[in-house]
Every structure is written in C-alpha cells, then in structure tokens.
Amino acid sequence: MFWKIAGFEFRYQLRQPVFWVGAFFFALLSFGLMCSPNVSLTGAASAIHKNAPWAIGLASVAFTVWYMLVTTAFVANVVIRDDQTGFGPIARSTPVSKFDYLMGRFTGAFGAAAVGYLAVPIGMFIGSMMPWVDKETLGPNDIGVYLYAYFALALPSVLLTSALFFTVATVTRSMMWTYVGVIAFFVLNTILGVTLARKPELDKLAATIEPFGGGAYSYMSKYWTVAERNAAIPPFEGVLLFNRLIMVGLALALLLLGYSLYRSGTRGAKLQKAQKLQQLAAKAQQEVARGGPLPKPVFDGALRSTQFWKRTRFEMAQVFKSPAYAILLLIGLLLSFVQLYFSGDLYGAHPYPTTRNITESLMYGPLFIMAYVISAYYAGELVWRERERNVHEIVGASALPDWAFIVPKMLALALVMVSVVVIAMVAGLLLQSVRGFTDYEIARYFTWYVIPTSIDYVLVAVLAVFLAVISPHKFVGWGLMVVFLLADIIASSLGFGDHLYRYGGGPETPLSEMNGMGHFWIGSYWFRAYWMAFAVILATLSYTLWRRGAETRLMPQFRALPHRLRGAPGLLAGFALVAFVAIGGWIFTNTHVWNTYRSDKEQEDRQALYERLIYDKFHGKAYPEGIPHPSIVATKFDVDLYPHEPRMVVHGSYVLENRTGQPLNDIHVHMNPDPVVQSWVIDLPGATKTKLPAAYEDLDYRIYHLATPMQPGQRLTMGFTTVLGTRGFGNDVLNTRLVDNGTFITNFDFAPILPVERGGLLENPVKRRAHGLPSEIRPPKLADDSAAIRAHNYLEDADFQTSDITVHTDADQTPLAPGEKVSDVTANGRRTARFVNDKPVLGFFAVLSARYAEKKVPYKGVDLVVYYDPHNPYNVDRMITALKVALDYYQPNFHPFQFSQARIAEFPALVRGQSYAQSFPNIFPWEETLGFTADVRNPDKIDYVTYVAAHEFGHQWWAYQVIGADMQGDTLLSETMAQYSALMTMEKLYGPTKIRQFLKYELDAYLRGRGSEELEELPLMQVESNQGYIHYRKGAVAMYLLRDQIGEQKVDDALKKLIDKYGFRGAPYPASIDLIALLKAEAPDREQLIDDLFKYITIWDIKTSEMKVKKRTDGKYDVTVTIEAKKFRADGKGKETDQAMKAEPFDLGLFAQKPGEHGFGPKDVIVFKTVSLSTGTQRFSFVVDRAPTWGGADPYNKYIDRDSNDNLIAASN
C-alpha cells in the first residue's frame, strides 16, 4: 500500500504546474550559469572553468537554498491539500494506515522534489555543451562529478528541507505559515552563517552545522587553488561527510516528529467555538417585524471621502493586523540588525555606527530582497483577497466606485513598504544604542534613507500590483515578479545599464559624513520622478484593468480600456505620460547629450580599441620597440577649484628633458578619458598637432610633431590648460573626484600623461578573448630584465621632478597638495595656497580641498598633521601616535625622512566598496570609512587605523625613496616593504602577540586569494601589481617570518642598503632581485628559506599529531610531542610537488593555556625552543615541572601553513 500511495503521489506531483515551472526555472538558471560568459552566480574566479568539478559542486549546493521554495510547495501540499479541497474526510475514512498514508505521500512528494532538482545537473551539463561557450573556460565534462554533486551534496539538503517543511506544514496546517517558516529558516540560517563567518576560530563548527552543506563545502575547499578547483570536487569525507550525515539524520528525526504530530480530522477547538457561536445566535431566535424603511444611500462628495477613508483603514487593518505582517516585520528587523551588526568589519573590528555607515549598509544590504518578497506577497494578497475570500461578488455588486476600491489597496501596500524601511531605521537606531553611539541624527536618517528608499520600494510595489492585476492567478503574478527581478539582474550583468529602461533604476547617491549627499541626489531624484510618473501610468492601468466582480478574463478589460480611461483616469494617465516623456527627455539630455553613457559592452569595446590603437602601437613594449618619450623634470600646476559648481581649471606646465639618448621628433600626449575633462589644450611652441584618425581624438590621444627635433639632453617647456567639470547628472554616479566638500583629485585625472599605463586596459582573460585580444596583458617578466625595462618605474612617467602647485579654492575650505606650503592667502572669498617640492619627488600629485579641522603635532623636526572632517574626530590622536611610532622606527632603521611634514587628509566615501588610503609625497589622502570611522578602541581587536597610517607613511620610503622598475616584482619593493614597516610599527606599539593575531588574518586572506587567481599565482619575487593577496597578504607573513628567522637587524640592514644604493635616483630602477640579493648577502646561511619565501611558492604543512603527558614519580612530567612535517612547492596554477624538508628550524612550545586565547600570556609558556624538522614524523621529549595542556610546532603560525589550526594539539595521557 505504501508504495502504491507513494507512486500515486509522485505521479500526482509530476502533473502539477509547480513541478514543471520549478524544474524549468532551475534548469534555465543552471543552463545560463554554464553558458553565459557574464553570469557568475557563485562569484568564482574566471580562471576556474565553468564546468570545473568544484564549480559544479558549488552550484549544486548553492541552488538547494532557493530550491527549498519549490520543495516546500510539494511537501506542504501533501499535508494541506486534503483540508483545502475538502477531500480529507473521505481519504481518512479509508482503511489505509496513518503511516502508509502520510509517509507514502511524503515519499512521493520528496521523490518529485528530488526528480525536479535533476534540472540543475541536466541544465548545467547541456549548458556546458553549447557551441558559443568560450572553450578556454571549459574543462573536460565528467558525468561522475554531476552525479556525485547531485546525490551526495544536494540530495541530503532536498531531503532535509522536505522533512522540515513537511513538519512545519503538519503543525501549522497552513500554506502561508509554512512559507513564513521558510523565510524564517532562510533568515536564521543567513544570520547564523554571517555570525559564525566573523569568527574564524569557529569556522569548522559553522561548516559542520550549516544545513545546506555549503559551509562544509567551502570549508573543505577554502584554500584550494585554481588548479585544484578545476580538477577536483571536495570528497565525501571529513566535515562534509559528517555534515551530510547529520542533515540526513536530522531530516529523519523531523519526519518522525511531523509524523507523530499529525492529527487527522478537523481541529476540536474550532468546532467548539462554532457551536458556542451557534448557541449564542439561537438564543434570540425570534421573528422580528421588519422596521420602517432603511435609510437611502446618498451619493455625494461626503460619501466619496467617507468611502475612501473607511476603505483605506479597512485595507490597512487587513494587512497590519495579519500575523504574517508582524512576522515579516520582525524578520526584517532581525535581518537588518544582524546585517548592521557585522557590516563594515575589518580585521574583526566594527566601524563606528555613524548615520552614514548605518544608512549605507541598510540601503545596499539584503533588505531589498525582503522588499521584493513583501511587495510581491502583499500585492498578490491585496489584488486577490476578495476573490480568495469569496467576497468579490458582494463587493463587486456594491455601489463602490472602482477607484475607491483600488486606491486604498495601493495606499495600504505603499504604507507596508514604508513600514519596512522605518523598521530598518529602528534597527539602525537600536544598533547605535547597543554600541553606545547616542548621536541620533533622525533628520539624516530620513533624507538619506527613509525617504529615498521608501520611494524605491513603493515603485517596486506598484509594479507588483500591476503584475498581479494582469495575471490570471496570484502565483502567476508572483512568478512574473521573480522573472522581473532576474531579468533585471541579468540585464545588469550583461551590461544593459541605462536606467532609462531599467524600471526603478537611477544613479546611486553616495553618502558621506563629509560630503552629505553632495550634488549626487539631484540625478537620483530626477530618475525617481521619471519612474514615479511611469508608476502612475502603471497604477492607472492597474485600475482600469482591474477585474471587478466575477470576470476572470483580462481581454474584456482590455477591450473596455478606452472606455474606462475616459475622464479622470485618462487625464491622470495622460498627465503622467506627459511627465514621463518630459522628464525622460530631460534625463536623456543629461545622461546622453551633456554626458556620455556607455554600456559595459561599449566600455569594453573602447578599452579594447584603446589597447589596439594606442597601447599596442606605441607603448606595449619599452623603447626601442615602443616609442621613446621625454622625462618630466619640473611640474607646475595652478589649480583653480570651484567645489560647489563643481568646476576646476588647471593651468600647468612641464619642463621636459630628452633622456633617451637620441633626437625626439614627436611627443605623445594622453589625457584622462573621463568625461569630467571638458577640454584640454596643449601649448608646445614650435610643435604641430599630427593629424590622426578621429578615434584617437575620441580616446583623448594626441601626437605633437616638433618642427626641430629635441636633442638628447635638451629641455623644453610644455604648457597646458585643462577644464574639468560636470554638467547635469549622468546615468551613473558622475565624477566622484570633484565634489562639494572633499575634493580629491590627482595629476593623472587632470594633467597630460606622456606614456600610457596598462592600468586602464581590459584584464579579465575571458573578456579579452571575446574582444580578440590575447588572453593576458602582463608587465615585463623578471627573466626579460634589461636596461630598457629598468629605465621606467612603475608609476610610468613619474620620474623624479620638482613640483610647484598652487591651489585656489573657496575661502571656507583648506587647499592641500604635496609640497612645502610657501604661501596661504585668503582674499575675496577665495583661499590660495602654494605648495613646493624643491627637491625632486616622484611625480604623483594629489589636490585636496575640504572644510577641514586640523590637528598638528611637531615631532622631531617633522610636522605630523591630520586634516579631518569635524564629524569624524574619533581616530585623529591614534593616527598621530602611529606616525610618531613609525617615524621613530623608520628613520634609524631605514633612512631619514625626506620631508619636514607628514599629513593625513580625509576624503569622502563616494565609491562604494572602494575605501582606501593612498600615499603621495608628504600627504596621505585617506577615505573616511577606512580609518576615520573605524572603532578600534577594544584592545582585543586589531588597530588597523595605526596599521594603515604606518603603511602609508612607510610608502614615503618604499615608493618615494626607492621605487621599483616597471616589471614583475615591483610591488615587493613598495607594498610588501610598506607592510613590513607597518608590522614593525604595530609590534613596537602592541607587542608580538597582536602581530600574530593580525597575521592569522593575512595568512587566511593569502590562502583564500589563491583560489580566485585569474591568471597564475606568482612567487613574491615576481608578484604583479594586481596581485594584492600576494604582495600585501603573503608579503606580510613572509617578511615577518624572515625577520623572525634571520633577525630584525639583518632585514633592516638589507633594506638600508637598498635605499643607499637606489634611493632618490632615477633610472635605472631597482628590481625585486636586487632586494633578494641584499637579503641573501645578510644571511648567507638561510638562502634556502629566502628562496622558499620569495623565489618559489612554498607551502608548509606542520601538524602536531599527538602530545602525551605523563606524571613522573618525582612530580615532574614526561612530555612527548609527535610532529608531522611536509613542504610543497606550487606552480602558478596551484599544482603542488613535494619538497624535501631537511632540518629546518621551527619553534616548538608547550603551554599551560592555548596561545591566542583570551588571557594567554608569558606565564603560560612552559617550554619554548627551536627544533629541527624534516619531512616525515618526528618525536620530541621533554621533562617539565608543570603539566602542559597544549603544545606543538610553529605554535604562533609564523609559517605559510595550509592548515594553521593543527599546529597545536591538546594534551593526552
């Protein structure tokens, strides 16, 4: 009987539309993931094959989360169907046992869900076969991988969610509550995941209990390199196996629970209530004579307003009093709060919850998905409520005008959306209170978040209503909403970014404590007005197409449209249409006429064209293959800045010198192609502009032909004038450099550039191939070292030069630029300051202007200054201290500081996801959210404010004293050395324990970074400038280890010699190998280690497998520690080969408490000594006075170790 029921159920579910719609949707998603070059739902690096085993596994796991919506429809239906259809009593009166009935049905429904999920492997498999897929992005297809991913990884999750929501449906007997359960589960799971993700020490626990197996999957593969991801899928063992088994077990337990809670028949309580009511009504059963005539209706204006308000109140009560609303709101509050709690964390430290930080993370957080869910849900409810409740005939036959029926519904929905936004604000205020931040800025909350986001959400809601109205069923409307959301996401990933056709779209409004909304809100609101006009049309159409009464077809409504549009609705729609077109025209003028809009595709085309026409032709190779160009020896800028407009006029001049050793006939000049540059004029006496095809002018590239060639050693002056500014607003955020309060602009933005960098070229190999370019664009290889390459540093034309920069700005702002301030005059509402570097510096210049507060501390002959916004005073003293400590370390150990001032200057957060600090000669612009609003007061956290300050200050040595040649390994000399400098500063301030805590983050980031490498991982010595995970992360770990092994003195001596030899000189510039040679000279006995760290990609694997502690008769303890050691060398793709370890020195420690835990200190160290480790297993014995509880090799994780958690082990007997 069981199997008959299961079979029937299975076939029944297979006939349901939800099966086919669900399967189709997931097949399409999987198909698209595989064969569309731009869709990467999993965020995998493009070097990872689309059909890499790891990627297939990841998609199979990830999609189960969303598939739970489909699964729930199957299994909840099993329980609820009979009650809904009224077939229940009949079914239950048959002699089928409860087990056969319930479990049979569950089995059938689960079977259908499982079969439906086959859409994912099948969709991916077919997608990978599509002829248009770039073959470079595919590996061999292995059916076994698809099957493994489906059965071992995905199916347990399908079973778990089936069992869970079967049980929820059994208990609640309601589809709605079951789906509320789904949302709650989803949110709780997200919260749990996010919470645990912030605690690296708990990642194994998180991986074990994450219900969908995604945590375990990621945990198993977190340090996998690209090669590994392309070759393998995490095997069914360890955490993954354990997790899958737990989830299957949990599923069975839930089933049992659901089974035992299942009660057939109607609920007793309901029956009793009905009977009581009946009795109450019966008490007064009597004939009542019909009274006099009832009042007649009066149709006047007063009635209309009564109808409107009464209906609005009624609709709102229907929504706001429903339990689902309270639950959804609670979920929204929880989601916002948890998201806020963790947003902006860096190295485990929270930012200050300033209004800006809160509102920004709310605005771009996951709440918008809730907004979609809620708007679609309630639009469906409101549109279909009368029909579902079967009151549509009574209401439809009443004298209520249509508008008074529909408008209140829309108003109610709009208020629901506003309430979601307000509850998010409440979460924000709550978080501020929890963090003890009492500067509540309610007005800013409203202007920055509540008002704009409410409008955006209401726009979504109007669309949801419209889609519900034109749909023949509630679910169709919901489906259309999902289709819209996906289409919008896909359109944006395909580069269709014009907000004129992206409903509800518009440029973001970057928020900043410094700059407020700046002028950015203007464009955002024009777009909002544009889409609001469209929404009014949608709303009017919804009104006219509304199916009143018993009519279910849409066609009659369409036919009646002209009739129904007559009068006010038509007038309104017409007015809205006029507004829509007029505003659209105005926006078009702004975004397409005054400013240029380029889709991502067009932008890429342009980059490709630029590469072909300019880079390849003139600059791709160093001279003599590329073109020669003169060097700049003196720079002069006169910058006239009008921050409120914003507008900037630069008059400048370069003194050029021919250092090429041969006559120069042409000078190539290039200008920042950003539209913010409105015009640029070159003044080069005796030169004529060469006539070039129009494409060159369009790409802002010119060649000036000199009438008389420039002889070697000859100098000439080139003048220029650049006008920067913006007119109106753009499709996206325009110009984040020139702003009302907080202008930060560099010479690469406003001054002519002589040679061209690789920086602006297409990098993604898939996109490059799609544009017919070679896969890779790389700096010169270390192996190709030559004098020509050594002639350029990595800032391209930034030769050592003097500078003279004058900045004029509004009187209330402080102008800043590199150089000693020689004058500062305020007159006629303008402030003018002149900054001069009379000793040559590298030509990388910034101009800043803002309403700054200033803190200046003279220290050992250097002015340490912080220019900051009065809103963000929190870390100013910390920054000054950092500069002091750094100066005290860098001067004696590296080289004296070359300037008399070191200035940190805040700039506003205007580009989301890009907060950084940069080092210019004697000035370090620093984005407000990176350090100015960081809250690092808790001594348990890592003080990354000091770290960043020390790093940027370090660049004054490692970039502005010594700069590498433009080739592989150049950033070892700048970024890695700045990292080392910062580490030493931190160590002086906080001691080595803090450094270990910090390096754990760096090691983790390095090992993870390997998995998203696009081309090839390189050893530190060959690191390329876009490989931050190597030059920052690995660099910090490697330098600290090196310093630990050969001693601080030797490292610093090598660095000192590097500066002595190469500092403050132009070409030839040093390369990484020069530093390596100096290091080897200092520590000739440690050549092996230096090669391991810099020349190769070396990974150690040190594992302490056992520590036995035995008490001796004399009261002491015998301790034996067993250590397994291995070493690998990886190639650029992550393929590893074993390397023999021959007696390498390692720390070995025995501790009374686990190092790294709270309260651990020197008192807990029982034994700490150096031992020699070789490949294989080795034992070490000790006799100690105290019993250790923890012990192992490399206890402080100094080495680059794939599993840094198994270095220590707890004692056993």
Contact positions vs other proteins (CB under 8 A):
270, 273-274, 277-278, 280-281, 283-288, 290-291, 293-300, 302-304, 306-307, 310-311, 314, 318, 321-322, 385, 389-391, 393-401, 548-551, 553, 556, 560
67, with CB counted inside 10 A (0-12, 13-18, 19+), is buried
Query: Min. distance of Cβ 330 from other proteins in angstroms?
Result: 19
**Identity of the residue, 296 or 1112, whose beta carbon is nearer to other proteins in the bound complex:** 296
**Identity of the residue, 285 or 828, whose beta carbon is nearer to other proteins in the bound complex:** 285
Strand-pairing partners, residue 1121, are 1107, 1180
Q: Measure the CA–CA gap between 700 and 720, rounded to whole angstroms.
A: 14
Burial 786-799 (b: 16+ CB within 10 A, else e): eebbbbbbbbbbbb
Query: Min. distance of Cβ 174 from other proteins in angstroms?
Result: 12
**Identity of the residue, 403 or 610, whose beta carbon is nearer to other proteins in the bound complex:** 403
Question: Taking Cα atoms as reference points, which of 448, 425, 434 lies closest to residue 352?
Answer: 434
Q: Measure the CA–CA gap between 606 and 610, rounded to whole angstroms.
A: 6
Question: Taking Cα atoms as reference points, which of 952, 849, 358 lies closest to residue 643?
Answer: 849
Question: Taking Cα atoms as reference points, which of 156, 155, 182, 158 lies closest to residue 246?
Answer: 156
**Identity of the residue, 237 or 287, whose beta carbon is nearer to other proteins in the bound complex:** 287
**Identity of the residue, 147 or 277, whose beta carbon is nearer to other proteins in the bound complex:** 277
Sequence letter at residue 199: K
**Identity of the residue, 278 or 1177, whose beta carbon is nearer to other proteins in the bound complex:** 278
Do the Cβ atoms of 1123 and 1090 come closer than 8 Å? no
Is it true that the peptide bond before 840 is cis, omega within 30 degrees of 0?
A: no
Query: Min. distance of Cβ 461 from other proteins in angstroms?
Result: 21
Q: State the alpha helices, DSSP H only, in 894-960.
A: 944-954
Query: How do beta strands 1117-1130 and 1136-1139 pair?
Result: antiparallel
Query: Min. distance of Cβ 562 from other proteins in angstroms?
Result: 14
**Identity of the residue, 176 or 1184, whose beta carbon is nearer to other proteins in the bound complex:** 176
C-beta atoms surrounding 562 within 10 Å: 10
Please report the DSSP string for 109-171 in residue order.
HHHHHHHHHTHHHHHHHHHHT-TTS-GGG-----HHHHHHIIIIIIHHHHHHHHHHHHHHHHH
Question: Taking Cα atoms as reference points, which of 465, 464, 466, 501 lies closest to residue 481?
Answer: 464
- Nearest 5°: the CA angle 921, 947, 950 is 30
Strand ordering across the sheet containing 687-689: 664-670, 701-710, 687-689
Q: Measure the CA–CA gap between 457 and 552, rounded to whole angstroms.
A: 29
**Identity of the residue, 289 or 707, whose beta carbon is nearer to other proteins in the bound complex:** 289
How many residues appear in the chain? 1213
Residue 357 CB-half CA count within 13 A: 29
Query: Min. distance of Cβ 320 from other proteins in angstroms?
Result: 11
Query: Min. distance of Cβ 387 from other proteins in angstroms?
Result: 10
**Identity of the residue, 411 or 1152, whose beta carbon is nearer to other proteins in the bound complex:** 411
Do the Cβ atoms of 677 and 724 come closer than 8 Å? yes
- Chain-centre distance of CA 99, in angstroms? 49
Query: Min. distance of Cβ 473 from other proteins in angstroms?
Result: 15
Query: Min. distance of Cβ 395 from other proteins in angstroms?
Result: 7
Query: Min. distance of Cβ 76 from other proteins in angstroms?
Result: 20
**Identity of the residue, 551 or 785, whose beta carbon is nearer to other proteins in the bound complex:** 551
C-beta atoms surrounding 365 within 10 Å: 17
Query: Min. distance of Cβ 1 from other proteins in angstroms?
Result: 36
Query: Min. distance of Cβ 300 from other proteins in angstroms?
Result: 7
Sign of CA dihedral 705, 707, 711, 715: negative
Query: Min. distance of Cβ 290 from other proteins in angstroms?
Result: 5
**Identity of the residue, 387 or 951, whose beta carbon is nearer to other proteins in the bound complex:** 387
Question: Taking Cα atoms as reference points, which of 1072, 1002, 1066, 1010 lies closest to residue 779?
Answer: 1072
Residue with tokens 């229940």: 88
Query: Min. distance of Cβ 481 from other proteins in angstroms?
Result: 24
Q: Which residues contact 958 (CB under 8 A, 6 or more apart)?
A: 973, 974, 975, 977, 978, 981
Q: Measure the CA–CA gap between 1139 and 4, rounded to whole angstroms.
A: 61
**Identity of the residue, 296 or 1158, whose beta carbon is nearer to other proteins in the bound complex:** 296
**Identity of the residue, 306 or 826, whose beta carbon is nearer to other proteins in the bound complex:** 306
Q: Which residues contact 273 (CB under 8 A, 6 or more apart)?
A: none
C-beta atoms surrounding 1084 within 10 Å: 8
**Identity of the residue, 72 or 174, whose beta carbon is nearer to other proteins in the bound complex:** 174
Query: Min. distance of Cβ 403 from other proteins in angstroms?
Result: 11
Question: Taking Cα atoms as reference points, which of 873, 845, 975, 994 lies closest to residue 932?
Answer: 873
DSSP label of 37? T
**Identity of the residue, 389 or 937, whose beta carbon is nearer to other proteins in the bound complex:** 389
**Identity of the residue, 295 or 1162, whose beta carbon is nearer to other proteins in the bound complex:** 295
Please report the DSSP string for 1121-1185 in residue order.
EEEEEEEEEE-TT--EEEE---SEEEEEEEESS-TTSTT--GGGEEEEEEEEE-SEEEEEEEEES
**Identity of the residue, 98 or 313, whose beta carbon is nearer to other proteins in the bound complex:** 313
16, with CB counted inside 10 A (0-12, 13-18, 19+), is middle
**Identity of the residue, 277 or 1081, whose beta carbon is nearer to other proteins in the bound complex:** 277
